[in-house]
Amino acid sequence: MTRTLYGLCGEDRERPFSPHVWKVVMALAHKGLDCRFVPLGFTEIPKVEAGATKMVPYLIDGEQAVVDSFAIARHLDATYPNRPTLFAGEGGQATARFVEAFSQTVLHPAIVRIILVDIHDRLAPEDRAYFRKSREAAFGKTLEEVVSAAPAERAAFAEKLLPLRYMLKKQPFIGGETPLFADYIVFGALQWARIMSPQTLLEPGDAVSEWFERCLDLHDGLGRGISPASIAEAA
């Protein structure tokens, strides 16, 4: 069966960066499923499959097309039940929903206020104007004004990870002894920052930092296949 996953990339087509796409990339590897990845810039998304989607990740799995990372994870567990589970049952799926809410309402807003300009500078030229216009409309201020508070956001970021840090002192993964989709949700957010910004968000030796390193090593080092961002990469 042929699978195709559409996902965001910057000017470098070999560096997919979307946190939501990374959830799916890790989920597919977790299930041991091959997939052809198609990198897209922001302005290319409306052209996918003759306008079939307005957002990515977008997975075509045989005759089925699925959009949204959580919906894709549910599809993978339902379609391939004999492969390693992403949720370990309804309780695990409900827990992953909570983790997703934590990531979307706490981690993502903090991260974006730190790396917003870094993201812009690593996009293809044709995507930068779209990104600036849409994000400045959303924030009601310029990108540069948003990240002016980045030093304070970085200083406060460790505290936002306190619940996760406390839990990871008792078990190696959010999923327990082995990772589940809940791990990939938080991993996706931190991988987004790692790929798009040279700014350091995690302190060495911290329980969350050690967990993130374990996640980078999963599936034959899939996460490490994309190197961290460097200052020299920016436009």
The stretches in the chain having pLDDT less than 50 are none
Assigned domain for 14 exists: yes
Q: In the prediction, which pLDDT does 1 show? A: 60
CA dist 222 and 58 (Å) reads 20
Assigned domain for 85 exists: no
The enclosing domain of 63 has a CATH number of 3.40.30.10
**Stated pTM of the model:** 0.95
**pLDDT one-digit tens code per residue, 198-222:** 999 999 999 999 999 999 999 999 9
Q: In the prediction, which pLDDT does 49 show? A: 81
The enclosing domain of 105 has a CATH number of 1.20.1050.10
Q: In the prediction, which pLDDT does 234 show? A: 55
* Same domain? 124 vs 192: yes
Domain span at 55: 3-79
Q: Give the pair of three-digit tokens for residue 34.
A: 């091959």
Q: In the prediction, which pLDDT does 230 show? A: 81
